[in-house]
Amino acid sequence: MSIKTGILGATGYTGAELLRLLSVHTGVSLEWLTSEKFAGKKIDWVFPHLRGFSDIECSSVAGLKDLGKVDVAFSCLPHGSSMHFTARLLDAGVRVIDFSADFRFADPAVYERLFGGPHKYKTLIDEAVYGIPEIFRDDIRSARLVANPGCFATGVILGLYPLISEGLVDAGSIVADAKAGASGGGRAPSLPHHFPESNENVKVSASASDSQGPEMENVLSAFSSTGVSIGFMSHTLPINRGILTTIYSRLKETAAPEFISGVYGKYFGAEPFVRLYAPDKYPEIKDVRHTNLCGIGFRVKQDRLIAVTALDNLVKGASGQAVQNMNIMFGFEETRSLGGSGIYP
């Protein structure tokens, strides 16, 4: 089986990672790419590391109707812009995996409050499936539209989902603190990403905190008898990629570490892209860098449960998870093109 794919906004960091993964996927034929900045340029000129893997010429998204029909399109366009092209692709019979936040929220009013503009395609929100396969695999399989999750949200949701589902933690006690690599801020040059400004520095990333905190609460509240409230803050580290998140919560009742291990094993023990750690052992960014893995460790101290998750923001936090979703949607082996180990050192 072979499917045809296209990528909207292919020349950012998530687009580059997506191209890397799809170029070695034997069930995929890459048909077209769009880029406003690099329209008319071949992709291996934009990203020389792709030389010998792909030489497709980038096109402007304005010519979308002339690019030819594909089976699935990945939209790496910004919030607010992606929805318009997603709707056009769906109307043309193309399945879409959207990297933006445009279809992540069940309530359009939440999206409009967070992103400061009207949502033009409210009818599509109802059919969008949130793209964490470890939780929504059955719905993803038949979805026309998958809302690929935020990178911070992925780590927090996976770290909390078993605990919330089993009713083990106080849903109003949760605080999450994330540290992330600079690639999460995008590829476009800006003063905050200028080397002398970012090197040897750690700073708060308020915009990501404000948008992805509600995203986590929205998803996890569906598995709780009460609404989930998360005090979330993210920070940027002077490294290229990776997210390490520490999640603090209060247990409703005292629980032994072995019991908590059993709960995580019940939900994730058979998952190919979740790596579980023994009590008081924790994942590190270097353990998961360049992989589609999310590592989860924890400790129990009296009535406190502290979970730690690590993932690569460009892979499990974005493009790798999107390919995982595509594999499910089209009946490929879920690990196809995603099974490699990390790069060390």
Among 58, 76, 151, 294, the one annotated catalytic:
151
Which stretches within the chain are classed as H helix? Answer: 13-22, 43-46, 82-91, 108-115, 122-125, 133-141, 151-165, 195-198, 206-220, 257-268, 285-288, 320-329
Residue 134 has a pLDDT of 98
Say how many CA atoms lie within 13 Å of 43 toward its Cβ: 28
- What's the angle, vertex CA 338, arms to CA 335 and CA 343, rounded to 5? 140
CATH class of the domain defined by 152-313: alpha beta
Q: How far apart are CA 113 and CA 213, in angstroms?
A: 13
What is the CATH superfamily name and number for domain 3-127?
NAD(P)-binding Rossmann-like Domain (3.40.50.720)
Q: Do you know the residue count of the chain?
A: 345
Looking at residue 212, its pLDDT comes to: 95
Whole-number Å distance between alpha carbons of 240 and 248: 26
Residue 58 is among the residues annotated as catalytic for this protein: no
- For residue 128, give the nearest of 90, 155, 182 by alpha carbon: 90
Same fold, 3-127 and 152-313: no
- Amino acid 190: pLDDT: 87
Q: What residue type is assigned to position 100 of the chain? A: S
Report if pTM > 0.85: yes
* Residue ranges of the chain with per-residue pLDDT less than 70: none
pLDDT at position 29, please?
A: 97
Domain boundaries, the chain: 3-127, 152-313
φ/ψ region of 104 (left if φ > 0, alpha if ψ in -120 to 50, else beta) reads: alpha
Q: Which of 94, 103, 131, 100 is nearest to 6 (CA)?
A: 94
Give the helix/strand (H/E) hosting 126.
Answer: none
CB 71 within 8 A of CB 5: yes
Cis peptide before 345 (omega within 30 of 0): yes
Q: What burial class does residue 296 get, using C-beta atoms within 10 Å of its C-beta: 0-12 exposed, 13-18 middle, 19+ buried? A: buried
pLDDT at 22: 97
